[in-house]
Structure 1
Amino acid sequence: MKRTIRTTALTVGALIASLGLPAGAAHADATTPRIDLRVLVVSDGGPSTDAITAELDAAGTPYTEVDLEQSGRPVIDAGFLADTVDGRPRAKFQAVVLPNDNPFPANSAEMAALASYEQTYAIPQVDAYTYARPEAGLQYPVHGGYSGTVDGVQAQVTAAGKAGPFGYLDAAVPFEDNSPTVGESYAYLSTPAAGADFTPYVDAPIPGKSTRGSLVGEYRHDGRRELVVTFVYNQYQQQFRLLARGIVEWMTGGVHLGASRNYFAVHVDDVFAADDRWDTELNCTPGDIDCAQGEGVPNPIRMTPSDVDYATAWESRRNFTLDLAFNGVGSVEQREENNGVDQLADKLIADRDRFRWLNHTYTHAFLGCRQDTSVVPWKCATNTDGSTEWVSRAEVSAEIANNRLWAQSAGLPLDNDELVTGEHSGLKLSPQQPEDNPNLALALADNGVEWLGSDNSREPDQRQVGPATTVSRYPMNVFYNAGRAAEQVDEYNWIYTSRAQGGSGICEDHSDTSTCLTAPLATTTGYADYIVPLETRIDLGHVLANDPKPHFIHQSNLAEDRIAYPVLDGVLDGYNDLFADNTPVVNLRMKDIGTELQRRAAWKAAIQAGQVTAYRIGDTVTVEAPDGVAATATMPTGTTNGSAGFGDAYAGEVSGWTTSAGRPLTFTLPSSVPSLSATVAGQDKAPATRTTPHTRVPAGVTEQVPYTPEH
């Protein structure tokens, strides 16, 4: 078993330290300062500060950004940083993020104001990407350190990092290396300067040396605390995604608005039905609209009872639940063709409580415009007056209701307020159908549908469709029309190779969104050696980005070669190798994902409108938000909201949503903590005035190296 190393004691101690209070202080008196729960980000437009603001945005943590490159920006002085409210001194920011340890000119009054502010209120400072030098607590790299690329380096969380802000990680922090021709990471590896109070939290081997150099560490000096980061990153890179939570927890002392979790949900579409198979000779799918009418012979793919046994055993082994989006007619037709027998349906129904179930409509009919499939690609049929011919309200409603009735007769545990239409049809689809079927919203209302699945590649943002709110789903690049690995590779080659290489040339025609393979993949090895690692990396990136949106595959991918499982295992194995047991993957059903996204949108809007105020005085946190808006926060274990405990445990803390009822929300932090140093040694030294030397930023950080076939 993995051990949870980060202790509540240290977390709470850091909270006390972040306010400069004596250890064990429980209640505030009139001289205790008010610390607003807002972060100050001073940016130079570089990718590292942008990455931190992206993390704050995703979590719902308020911040104020000052762009040093912008004319007319506010001046950072004592009045900008602090004032007095109701006779009590107020620190306007609980943390400061700088692009490096000192981005201002020599003898800058702004840097002096920041240093004084940090000393007065014990406010921590994050140096987002800085040069290793004595002013940051480190030796210059020329003194036994290293300056250069760290693509592919295996960094580690130190014992201090595990006991501190990075206790949610197992240890490993692997750096990406997506392209052999693009520099993606650059770092300064160094050891603490002589006499410096510096604690490395993340380090890596110094090339050619037996020693390790710091990549992330805490420097205590002059009555201040700095988190010194000496590698550059962008918001998408795995190394940052792994460390982002810890950076935020360090600078906020574990008390902040907003929350971050790692989500993974997988929808399996077309269950009970069969999926048409890719024809490797025709390079299309007979029976589907990408083949001309009458071209080829359909050869459908359908799960078997043994595939169900494999799925349930996999779920048990992985402690993970699949969401099955089903079409009841698939079983009805099977029984009609086989004298009432459908062994697959019998098995799935017997094991129904092992899965979550989603209404995917009865026949999987296309519910948008009437499709004219006499041409490839298809187009919308039109009425005599030239208007679009739409599938009717009654037909859409019947598809929803009939599938429910079938599920009821089969005893499936179905939530009637969730729906995924076949191919997300009914929703707008460019270029053929640029608007929703107007009958869709009416049919959703007829059937009480509140949550509607949509395709994230078409519509990444949540929106309303009549009474329903969309839940965007990530399409996995495991094709619906492939039951065998060789079929998947053949179709992949067709899509992602040039015409000269024997492919369709689609990648050439859409070079803005895809890149052609340099050569076709081998059908015998291409899936395991190329497609699986690539898709695993993409999907794990979603998991690490505090993104709850589900992924979707098809029942065909759980049949025959069961080609979905290598990707799913890759994601979960990769995750388990990186995170401690106290930070599990969160596996939600669709309606709960929709609720999470909806709450985030309302919370973000309230923050942007300036309607959220939050602050801490002593051991009390007060949050004011508009009536009915749920507030999100992260606190130490043991925090209470009134007489009730707050939040759910995650990553060594508790976090959750609390709905405002038009009056301030009050949270009480744990008051009993071990005796710890209040903050840092109070040295009365003037802050360093020398600006940080120029740091290198490779192209792969400035412009993200994409996850495309080429890479």
Structure 2
Amino acid sequence: MKRTIRTTVLTVGALIAALGLPAGAAHADDAPRIDLRVLLVSDGGPSTAAIAAELTDDGTPFTEIDLTQSGRQVIDAGFLADTVDGRARAKFQAVVLPNDNPFASGSSEMAALTAYEQVYQIPQVDAYTYARPEAGLQYPAGSAGYSGSIDGTQADVTAAGKAGPFGYLDGTVPFEDNDPSVGESYAYLAQPAAGADFTPYVEATIPGSSAKGSLVGEYRHDNRRELVVTFVYNQYQEQFRLLARGIVEWMTGGVHLGASRNYFAVHVDDVFAQDDRWNSELNCTPGDVDCTDSGATADPIRMTSVDVDYAVAWEQSRNFTFDLAFNGSGSVDQREDNNGVDQLADKLVADKNDFRWINHTYTHAFLGCVQNTTVVPWVCETNADGSTQWVSQNDISDEIANNRVWAETNGLPLENDELVTGEHSGMRILPQQPDDNPNLAPALAANGVDWLGSDNSRDPQQRQVGAAETVPRYPMNIFYNAGKASEEVDEYNWLYTSRAQGGSGICEDNPTTTTCLSAPLDTSTGYTGEIVPLETRIDLGHVLSNDPRPHYIHQSNLTEDRIAYPVLNGVLDGYQALFADNTPVVNLRLKDIGTELKRRADWQAALQAGQVTAYRIGDAVTVEAPAGLEVTATLPTGTTVGGAAFGSAYAGAVSGWTPSAGSPLSLTLPATTASPSVTASDDTAPATDPAPGTRVPAGVADPVTATVTN
């Protein structure tokens, strides 16, 4: 039985003409041009916002139409397709909708989208939809379905999911339950409708039943393909972060601009030096400029040679490399105080090739303004005319160069274009120093420094300091002044409890602080019971977010109780349990992270300026981009560019960067890659009624704070 679009009855010829297709039957030479751009139709909800964030982070171009905005673009045949140089062009390779039909009953826009998807074989993602027969599923009622919270549920990737778009996952998808008092995930669990061509990719057990209900699945009908998602999410939740890659790969057929990988790097600061220890009676750290009790002893913390053996063994067991940010004067001082002996330095130098090394300046001096530490908090010294006194360019250069000489003398394999200053000093720090030390940039240039570590908590965007580029680093909430778990908990309690409970009151003064405590933690159990799980979740969230920024701790955290390792193991164990072997953690050094961030920034600028065009015709992908711009893409294994293999393997595909020379860049897909073709069919489907309203719990509309980065 032939069907007609409910609102606009079109003959086949009129439909083809409206969508820009050439008359007559389609041949190989008539393969349409499919632009590598996604159409995202949003409703202001968290699910479409999450997909938009994923596409943005990946560097995948998309056009967004917000249904809540008046005067928005109307979706019609002319908006979706046209003809270029006599060839039919589909302007979008995929369509993302808030649900399976967000338009009013009888919508001509839904009719246009339906026809477009049929004719050009364009897939559609239903970002969060009610389970119903129109989406290929039974209603979520009775023993065959469920509607409600799935907080804490462990979903499973089906065999079809592993063989298809979610093959990079190891098999399970845990749903967060960070706060039992807040609903974080709402879902409709249902089985395929009778007679529906529906393949579940991710499913979970229906409560009260042994049957499984779909959470993500593919519905094929009326010459269309839909990815049906029946749970709500935001961009920060772990379950979305795990599935986001597969959603993008499904909608693009594994051929798209942009790329995503999972990164984790850990910098260990102050190596060879020693860190002052937290004093639980003073609630400060003797030796720090803000701890003024002159009678207090510092009792510093410093690694031992045994800790180096432990670190090397740990690296080998985890296939992971630490980046050691070192201060050479720490060893010089140790030898002066111990008759020329420094077992730690001897051991680290002997094992130097087991680590990567970063210049952290010779003495860890503060390289910003000249500090006046007679007041708390400290302030910048000023000249007679009121101007700021700055540490000189010569002094900054000495700190860089002297540490470099020490490294060369001891044979450390140093990259001279990398630098992390002590306390990230020299760069702006609020409120005392709102500007960079003007002497910093010329000192960096004079010493050939191209990549400068910065503190992500106060300077999160990569920026230039003279000719150098910053590399923002995430501070892990493992304190530099703690070698023992009890010290970490005591300081944590001080920072994050109220004044009435003996704390600093920072949470009362700044309610947006995300690590506040309702009561002090037990110093004997609080670290492993509370701090480690929270910090692990935060750091793993960074890893799953296609974010290459490194994390940093201090050498004090690798000695005594070695309090860094439980968190690092938590991140890597958690990751290993979630991902297949073809999707390893990417462990880059500082300069490579900086290069990745810089390429991304340049790519995003070019996208926003409309300087990049890409399309596919059959097995050929063409990218037009400005000369010198590095082009990023994710493509099937076996893709070539200029006769050479493109990219490197990751998550079952190849991805990477390739430079544009200004002329069209041609990539050839492997012959086995299915290519879109046009379909001149009159079996057009009716535009269905809009999906019933879907529920968004508070924990999704407003993300639970446990997942917010520190």
TM range (shorter): over 0.9
Counterpart residue number, 1:281? 281
Q: Is the 8 A contact 2:236 2:707 kept in 1?
A: no
Amino acid at match of 2:574: G
- Per the TM alignment, residue 688 of structure 1 is displaced from its structure 2 partner at its CA by 3.5
Counterpart residue number, 1:138? 137
Amino acid at match of 2:699: G
Supply the distance in 2 between the matched residues of 1:267 and 1:679 (Cα, whole angstroms).
Answer: 52
- Give the TM-score, by structure 2 length: 0.95
Counterpart residue number, 2:172? 172
Amino acid at match of 2:631: A
Q: Is the 8 A contact 2:488 2:527 kept in 1?
A: yes
For residue 500 of structure 1, give the secondary structure of its aligned residue in structure 2. Answer: helix
**Residue range with higher mean Cα deviation, 700-709 or 324-333:** 700-709
Counterpart residue number, 1:610? 610
For residue 707 of structure 1, give the secondary structure of its aligned residue in structure 2. Answer: helix
Closer, same or farther in 2 for the Cα pair 1:380/1:236, shift >3 Å?
same
**Residue range with higher mean Cα deviation, 284-293 or 588-597:** 284-293
Supply the distance in 1 between the matched residues of 2:50 and 2:100 (Cα, whole angstroms).
Answer: 17
Amino acid at match of 1:519: A
1:88 and 2:90 correspond: no
Counterpart residue number, 2:43? 44
Counterpart residue number, 1:389? 389
Counterpart residue number, 2:380? 380
1:509-658 matches, cutoff 5 A: 509-514=509-514, 516-658=516-658
- Per the TM alignment, residue 689 of structure 1 is displaced from its structure 2 partner at its CA by 2.3
Amino acid at match of 1:56: L
Closer, same or farther in 2 for the Cα pair 1:629/1:429, shift >3 Å?
same
Supply the distance in 2 between the matched residues of 1:414 and 1:514 (Cα, whole angstroms).
Answer: 37
For residue 472 of structure 1, give the secondary structure of its aligned residue in structure 2. Answer: strand
Supply the distance in 1 between the matched residues of 2:415 and 2:709 (Cα, whole angstroms).
Answer: 42
Counterpart residue number, 2:55? 56
Supply the distance in 2 between the matched residues of 1:366 and 1:319 (Cα, whole angstroms).
Answer: 35
Supply the distance in 2 between the matched residues of 1:48 and 1:677 (Cα, whole angstroms).
Answer: 27
Closer, same or farther in 2 for the Cα pair 1:680/1:479, shift >3 Å?
farther
Supply the distance in 1 between the matched residues of 2:86 and 2:230 (Cα, whole angstroms).
Answer: 41
Supply the distance in 1 between the matched residues of 2:521 and 2:103 (Cα, whole angstroms).
Answer: 52
- Give the TM-score, by structure 1 length: 0.94
- Per the TM alignment, residue 377 of structure 1 is displaced from its structure 2 partner at its CA by 1.1
1:315-394 matches, cutoff 5 A: 315-394=315-394
Q: Is the 8 A contact 1:642 1:666 kept in 2?
A: yes
Amino acid at match of 1:81: L
- Per the TM alignment, residue 293 of structure 1 is displaced from its structure 2 partner at its CA by 5.4
1:66-81 matches, cutoff 5 A: 66-81=65-80
Supply the distance in 2 between the matched residues of 1:681 and 1:625 (Cα, whole angstroms).
Answer: 33
**Residue range with higher mean Cα deviation, 289-298 or 132-141:** 289-298
Q: Is the 8 A contact 1:646 1:656 kept in 2?
A: yes
- Per the TM alignment, residue 684 of structure 1 is displaced from its structure 2 partner at its CA by 1.5
TM-superposition CA deviations, 1:484-517 (whole Å, max 9, x none): 0000000000000001111111221111334531
**Residue range with higher mean Cα deviation, 340-349 or 501-510:** 501-510
Counterpart residue number, 1:413? 413
**Residue range with higher mean Cα deviation, 596-605 or 685-694:** 685-694
1:147 and 2:147 correspond: yes
Counterpart residue number, 1:24? none
Supply the distance in 1 between the matched residues of 2:312 and 2:203 (Cα, whole angstroms).
Answer: 41
Amino acid at match of 2:46: P
Amino acid at match of 2:56: D
1:495 and 2:484 correspond: no
Counterpart residue number, 1:267? 267
**Residue range with higher mean Cα deviation, 500-509 or 252-261:** 500-509
For residue 339 of structure 1, give the secondary structure of its aligned residue in structure 2. Answer: coil
Q: Is the 8 A contact 1:496 1:709 kept in 2?
A: no
- Per the TM alignment, residue 315 of structure 1 is displaced from its structure 2 partner at its CA by 0.2
Q: Is the 8 A contact 2:121 2:677 kept in 1?
A: no
Q: Is the 8 A contact 2:81 2:88 kept in 1?
A: yes
Supply the distance in 1 between the matched residues of 2:284 and 2:405 (Cα, whole angstroms).
Answer: 35
Q: Is the 8 A contact 1:30 1:88 kept in 2?
A: no
Q: Is the 8 A contact 1:361 1:420 kept in 2?
A: yes
- Per the TM alignment, residue 681 of structure 1 is displaced from its structure 2 partner at its CA by 13
1:85-124 matches, cutoff 5 A: 85-124=84-123
- Per the TM alignment, residue 303 of structure 1 is displaced from its structure 2 partner at its CA by 0.1
Amino acid at match of 1:60: G
Supply the distance in 1 between the matched residues of 2:443 and 2:136 (Cα, whole angstroms).
Answer: 65
TM-superposition CA deviations, 1:232-266 (whole Å, max 9, x none): 00000000000000000000000000000000000
- Per the TM alignment, residue 160 of structure 1 is displaced from its structure 2 partner at its CA by 0.4
Unaligned runs of 5+ in 1: 1-26
Counterpart residue number, 1:472? 472
Closer, same or farther in 2 for the Cα pair 1:403/1:550, shift >3 Å?
same
Give the % identical residues: 76
- Per the TM alignment, residue 384 of structure 1 is displaced from its structure 2 partner at its CA by 1.9
Supply the distance in 2 between the matched residues of 1:681 and 1:505 (Cα, whole angstroms).
Answer: 69
Unaligned runs of 5+ in 2: 1-25
Counterpart residue number, 1:23? none
Q: Is the 8 A contact 1:97 1:127 kept in 2?
A: yes
Counterpart residue number, 1:19? none
Closer, same or farther in 2 for the Cα pair 1:677/1:468, shift >3 Å?
closer
For residue 84 of structure 1, give the secondary structure of its aligned residue in structure 2. Answer: strand
Q: What is the root-mean-square deviation in Å for CA atoms of aligned residues?
A: 1.8
Q: Is the 8 A contact 2:204 2:213 kept in 1?
A: yes
Supply the distance in 2 between the matched residues of 1:302 and 1:710 (Cα, whole angstroms).
Answer: 29
Closer, same or farther in 2 for the Cα pair 1:646/1:708, shift >3 Å?
closer
Q: Is the 8 A contact 1:454 1:470 kept in 2?
A: yes
Supply the distance in 1 between the matched residues of 2:324 and 2:68 (Cα, whole angstroms).
Answer: 51
Closer, same or farther in 2 for the Cα pair 1:96/1:482, shift >3 Å?
same
Amino acid at match of 2:211: T
- Per the TM alignment, residue 298 of structure 1 is displaced from its structure 2 partner at its CA by 0.9
Amino acid at match of 1:582: N
Closer, same or farther in 2 for the Cα pair 1:339/1:680, shift >3 Å?
farther
- Per the TM alignment, residue 279 of structure 1 is displaced from its structure 2 partner at its CA by 0.6
Amino acid at match of 1:453: G
- Per the TM alignment, residue 709 of structure 1 is displaced from its structure 2 partner at its CA by 11
Supply the distance in 2 between the matched residues of 1:139 and 1:76 (Cα, whole angstroms).
Answer: 30
Supply the distance in 2 between the matched residues of 1:589 and 1:142 (Cα, whole angstroms).
Answer: 52
- Per the TM alignment, residue 28 of structure 1 is displaced from its structure 2 partner at its CA by 8.3
Supply the distance in 2 between the matched residues of 1:325 and 1:598 (Cα, whole angstroms).
Answer: 22
Amino acid at match of 2:665: L
TM-superposition CA deviations, 1:433-468 (whole Å, max 9, x none): 000000001110110100000000001101000111
Supply the distance in 2 between the matched residues of 1:608 and 1:516 (Cα, whole angstroms).
Answer: 39
- Per the TM alignment, residue 676 of structure 1 is displaced from its structure 2 partner at its CA by 11
Counterpart residue number, 2:439? 439
Q: Is the 8 A contact 1:170 1:579 kept in 2?
A: yes
- Per the TM alignment, residue 117 of structure 1 is displaced from its structure 2 partner at its CA by 0.2
Supply the distance in 1 between the matched residues of 2:535 and 2:680 (Cα, whole angstroms).
Answer: 49
Amino acid at match of 2:177: D
- Per the TM alignment, residue 680 of structure 1 is displaced from its structure 2 partner at its CA by 11
Q: Is the 8 A contact 1:507 1:516 kept in 2?
A: yes
- Per the TM alignment, residue 376 of structure 1 is displaced from its structure 2 partner at its CA by 1.4
Closer, same or farther in 2 for the Cα pair 1:307/1:667, shift >3 Å?
same
Supply the distance in 2 between the matched residues of 1:109 and 1:709 (Cα, whole angstroms).
Answer: 41
Q: Is the 8 A contact 1:274 1:301 kept in 2?
A: yes
For residue 489 of structure 1, give the secondary structure of its aligned residue in structure 2. Answer: helix
1:455 and 2:452 correspond: no
Supply the distance in 2 between the matched residues of 1:682 and 1:89 (Cα, whole angstroms).
Answer: 16
Q: Is the 8 A contact 2:97 2:124 kept in 1?
A: yes
